Amino acid sequence: MDLRAEAQRLFQVAVAAADPARALSRAFLTTPPTRPVGDGKLLLIAVGKAAIPMAETALAALGDTRVQALIVTNAENARPVAGAEVMPAGHPVPDAKGEAAGQAVAGLLQSAGPNDRVLALISGGGSALLPAPAPGLTLADKIAVNRLLLANGFEITEINLIRQQLSRLKGGGMLHLAAPAPVEAYILSDVIGDDLRAIASGPTVAPLGTRAEARALLQTRGLWRDLPAAVQDHLSRPA
């Protein structure tokens, strides 16, 4: 056996198995997306580092369905996609472009009516790419918190537990904004154990915890006093 050739073959098989477009195509075979009702439209929102190949796959599968598509991905992966608006954003540190993308996503979700359907395509990186500060907080507050967490060895689930409490979109926020339109999510995991609450901070699922738990975690690590005052105030108030 040529060990080098065999290693290359195994590597290519692994890359193909992890291909976002192929993964979504397989998912659609067993669980196709639900179409809108009557005169409703389908709102496609793709967020993450794999957002573009996932969105292209979905748009091709949806055929002549009336679709309004918005894609948010990192600047390195951004490119035009026919039939969709593509918004590049900062990663791993949130930036103003990401905040604008978050506002666009929130606006699109809030436009949904009962006959519409929301198709959410979620992949890794969505947390940083889609900052949507909770009322009373600013993008600068969120950037400061993100840098603090990254610099102090927090695990991804701990980071997302805290970030969810500071966002309008994370921790199920997409569902709140889209109501009464139902939301279907296809989620590509980049988290060991595949906890859907941790992938991109879980915009379409229940949060990892509460404000009180986020506050306790930061206090236990001795970082509470390093947080912006507005963040301390937000985490100290009941949800």
Q: Which range, of 19-23, 110-114, 154-158, 205-209, averages the lowest pLDDT?
A: 154-158
Query: Does residue 118 register a pLDDT over 90?
Result: yes
pLDDT in tens, 4-41: 999 999 999 999 888 999 999 999 999 999 999 888 99
- Determine the average pLDDT of the residues in 151-178: 93
Structure confidence at residue 192 (pLDDT): 87
Nearest to 148 by CA among 208, 231, 209: 231
Is pLDDT at 1 greater than 90 in this prediction? no
* Per-residue pLDDT at 220: 96
pLDDT at residue 93, as a whole number: 82
Q: What is the DSSP string of 49-91?
A: TTHHHHHHHHHHHHTTS-EEEEEEEEGGG----TTEEEEEE-S
Per-residue pLDDT tens over the stretch 55-64:
999 999 998 8
Q: What is the pLDDT of residue 149?
A: 93
Are 156 and 146 in contact by the 8 Å Cβ rule? The answer is no
Q: What is the pLDDT of residues 188-234, one digit of tens each?
A: 998 889 999 989 999 999 999 999 999 999 999 999 999 999 999 99
Q: What is the mean pLDDT of residues 97-102?
A: 96
Is pLDDT above 90 for 102? yes
Give helix then strand counts, H and E, for the chain.
Answer: 10, 5
Helix axes 139-151, 156-164, angle to 10 degrees: 160
Range name among 110-114, 154-158, 201-205 with the lowest pLDDT average: 154-158
What is the pLDDT, as a whole number, of residue 37? Answer: 87
Mean pLDDT throughout 36-47? 94
Report how far residue 230's alpha carbon sits from residue 119's, in angstroms, rounded to the nearest whole number.
Answer: 33
**What is the structure's pLDDT at 18?**
85
pLDDT at residue 228, as a whole number: 96
| For range 112-132, the mean pLDDT | 94
Which pLDDT value is given to residue 198?
87
Q: What is the pTM of this model?
A: 0.88
